[in-house]
Amino acid sequence: MMSRPLPAVLPWAMVPVISAILLFSPGTVNAAPPGDEPTLGPLGGRNVYAPHLPWFSFTADSAAALPMGIIRIGTAIYVLNEFSSYPFNPEDYTLEPDGRLSSADQNDLTAMDYESTVWELSIDWQAMPAWRFSADWRLHARYGGYLDGVIEWWHSALGVSNAGREYFSHNRSYWDIRSSTGTSWTGEGTVVGAGDLDLQALWSFWSGPKLALAAGGAFKIPTGRKDGGFGSGYPDIGAEFLVDWRPWTRWAFYLNTGIIVPFGDEGRVMGQFIPAVEFRAARGLSILVQMNIQTSPIVGIEEYIHPVFGRTAMFALPQTDLKIGLKGRSGRFGWQFYMEEDLLTWEGPDILLFFGADWSFR
């Protein structure tokens, strides 16, 4: 397995994005400093990394209750590029004149190589002062895409590793994920499939001026297309505990911890740990840094030497995704944007962009 890019890639890539949004979206926020209005909460978005995708995962959420009776309708788009190869030494293969592997060798060595767009619909209902109920559903599309050349150029410009991309053709759509637990899915080309329907309930049992606590439960209805790896074919259940801490006007800290129990015998019990920091840059605008640390539901059949963790199996390490993004609210309208990448264990999308919006009403 080839080395992933260095951790400097994501923060540097965020600089022009954040600057552009702040410069060209002046009507979205009030330049006044934040006051007594509620904090905006952590970044949303589920774990859509292919080896974790068939099972439920918690999205980060605030422990604080919404105003009584509020209904919030949301939609979001995920655009991600996945690339991961099975361990290989290029010197053991005869390369084509363009320096890439033959088509047969590329297929044999590919774990994931595609782009994907995910469309999400969600609804939240603060039905009682302390109880909120939520549902969300996703539609997945995988395809060859157009970002391979851009990513390869960007990594080369920064002088960091291309993770073996240079040996594989651009704009492929092929995946072959194998595990020792019996789970595997293989496919190629353009594939569109429904995801699972996730139902959640959140009990905000403590709400103070600086601290809020909540507990929640989740149930996954297996509507996802199993042969594409968009669902496991079985329900999952989950439980979580949430903490919001707002010690100062401009700063808020969030921590979500959860456990997910898959039904069926193909996925392992997973734990999630989601810390987030919110800096309230202006009234209605926050900058957030957040992580999703999640244990793996599967263990791959191929071993390799990780430069940090030593000998391990493909897909076995926990996910350690970093999200850096912006979140805003103006009246009933809210929006968020972030970039996501796993910089430590590499058990996450090679790059992910998330765009979300919601509308609140009674």
Q: For residue 175, is it within any domain?
A: yes
pLDDT at 289 over 90: yes
Q: For residue 2, is it within any domain?
A: no
Residue numbers of the domain that contains 308: 9-352
pLDDT at residue 15, rounded to an integer: 47
pLDDT at 158 over 70: no
Average pLDDT score over the chain = 89
Helix (H) or strand (E) holding 17: helix 9-24
pLDDT single digits (tens) 83-135 = 999 999 998 999 999 989 999 999 999 999 999 999 999 999 999 999 999 99
pLDDT at residue 28, rounded to an integer: 47
Mean pLDDT in residue range 40-52: 96
CA separation for the pair 44, 122 (Å, rounded):
11
Q: For residue 359, is it within any domain?
A: no
Q: What is the pTM of this model?
A: 0.89
Q: For residue 358, is it within any domain?
A: no
Task: Classify 330 as helix, strand or coil.
Answer: strand
List the CATH number of the domain containing 147: 2.40.160.40
pLDDT at residue 31, rounded to an integer: 62
Instruction: Give the number of domains in the chain.
Output: 1
pLDDT at residue 140, rounded to an integer: 97
Helices 148-158, 9-24: inter-axial angle, 10-degree rounding: 110
Q: For residue 110, is it within any domain?
A: yes
Q: For residue 3, is it within any domain?
A: no
Q: For residue 319, is it within any domain?
A: yes
149-158, Cβ contacts within 8 angstroms, sequence gap of 24 or more? 151/81, 151/350, 151/351, 154/9, 154/13, 155/5, 155/9, 158/5, 158/6, 158/8, 158/9, 158/12
Tokens 């390369």 found at: 95
Mean pLDDT in residue range 46-61: 96
CA atoms within 13 A on the CB side of 104: 2
pLDDT at residue 26, rounded to an integer: 46
Q: Are 164 and 112 in contact (CB under 8 A)?
A: no
Task: Classify 182 as helix, strand or coil.
Answer: coil
Comparing 160-174, 190-204, 334-348, the range with the smallest average pLDDT is 160-174
More confident residue, 149 or 308: 308
Q: For residue 313, is it within any domain?
A: yes
Q: Are 124 and 71 in contact (CB under 8 A)?
A: yes
Q: Are 342 and 320 in contact (CB under 8 A)?
A: yes
Confidence tier at 78 by pLDDT (50, 70, 90): very high
Confidence tier at 6 by pLDDT (50, 70, 90): very low
pLDDT at 70 over 50: yes
pLDDT single digits (tens) 227-274 = 889 999 999 999 999 999 999 999 999 999 999 999 987 889 999 999
Task: Classify 56 as helix, strand or coil.
Answer: coil
